[in-house]
Amino acid sequence: MRIGIYGGSFNPVHNGHVHLAETVMAELKLDKLYYVPSKVSPHRSSSEYAPEEDRLEMLRLVCRDKPGFEVSSYELDQDRVSYSVYTVEHFRRKYPDGELFLLCGSDMLLSFDEWYRYQDILSMASLAVVSREEGDIDELENKASELRKYGSVLICRADAVEISSTEIRKKIRKNCDTSCYLDKNVVQYIRLKKLYR
């Protein structure tokens, strides 16, 4: 089995996240792709971060009609810092014979060798780097070739979707329409729960 692991705060999950996941799912011919929402510092304000259960539920709504897409609460269930290596170890135990792919943005690749136990991550999973910028391929390829002595690093191309969760939260606070950025079920859920107000 080919398994993708896609971490992030997903606060809220938006069409850019979904497009990126669908692109990687198709390009790498994954059997499953797990969204793994990250734990958030307890010092963050609730207007900035939706509660964990709400972030999970919004992801479940997005995955509901998408075969192969799943949501994992693994990082939210932990009482420690969510280092990626622990998450990869969790999926390695869950799928001992599976081929694992850890998704990461092109900006993260450039500092990947500063991640905690990055060599261990690459010994257990391929790094699937998603490039959303024109013209950054040479820089990414140089960094990828440095890291390939520890394991597999793949570069996938995805069209840029010009939106961020931060911008969406600002629009919600101003009562702007966000239906072009969010799944319709997520829009309804945010309204119902009065999130990001």
Question: Does residue 43 carry a pLDDT above 60?
Answer: no
Burial of 80-98, coded b for 16+ CB within 10 Å and e otherwise, reads eebebbbbbbbbbeeeeee
Over residues 92-114, the mean pLDDT reads 94
Q: Identify the three-state secondary structure at position 99.
A: strand
Over residues 2-11, the mean pLDDT reads 96
pLDDT for residue 42: 60
pLDDT for residue 75: 96
Question: Does residue 2 carry a pLDDT above 70?
Answer: yes
pLDDT for residue 135: 60
pLDDT for residue 106: 84
Q: Please name the helix (run of DSSP H) or strand (run of DSSP E) that holds residue 70, with its range, or none.
A: strand 69-71
pLDDT for residue 139: 86
Question: Does residue 190 carry a pLDDT above 70?
Answer: yes
Q: Mean pLDDT score of the chain, rounded to an integer?
A: 92
Q: Could you tell me the pTM of the whole model?
A: 0.93
Domains of the chain: 2-162 (3.40.50.620)
Per-residue pLDDT tens over the stretch 48-90: 889 999 999 999 999 999 999 999 999 999 988 789 999 999 9
Dihedral of CA atoms 62, 12, 186, 101 in degrees, nearest 10, equals 0
Per-residue pLDDT tens over the stretch 112-158: 999 999 999 999 999 999 886 666 778 888 999 999 999 999 998 88
Structure tokens belonging to residue 113: 């060798």
Q: How far apart are CA 196 and CA 58, in angstroms?
A: 13
